[in-house]
């Protein structure tokens, strides 16, 4: 009788991101509330659009949704290996 010791499966999580030029095609109504100010108030669509245009002008193509370590403003989330052992059901 032997006990096998399997390595933990490598799981990877990828954060969501926004394709700036893609969402700039959306109407203001849909852009509305995509971002909040420091008080948590939803920003109106035209403000979001202005913000996105400025980001594009700075050479950014994508924006992270939430925290993402090592995020690339060109290609998005690099993906993160999850070492959480409670991950399996």
Tell me which residues touch Zn ion (CB under 5 A). 15, 68, 77
CA separation for the pair 19, 30 (Å, rounded): 14
As measured in angstroms, the least distance from the Cβ of 74 to Zn ion is 14
Question: Is the separation of the CB atoms in 81 and 7 below 8 Å?
Answer: no
Beta carbon nearer to Zn ion, 15 or 60: 15
Beta carbon nearer to Zn ion, 7 or 66: 66
As measured in angstroms, the least distance from the Cβ of 13 to Zn ion is 7
Question: Is the separation of the CB atoms in 19 and 61 below 8 Å?
Answer: yes
């Amino acid at each position: 009788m032997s006990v096998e010791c399997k390595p933990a499966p490598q799981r990877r999580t990828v954060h969501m991101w926004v394709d700036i030029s893609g969402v700039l095609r959306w109407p203001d109504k849909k852009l509305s509330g995509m971002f909040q100010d420091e008080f948590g108030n939803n920003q109106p669509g035209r403000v979001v659009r202005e913000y996105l245009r400025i980001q594009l002008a700075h050479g950014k193509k994508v924006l992270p949704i939430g925290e993402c370590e090592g995020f690339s403003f060109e290609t998005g989330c690099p993906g993160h290996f999850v070492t959480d052992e409670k991950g399996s059901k």
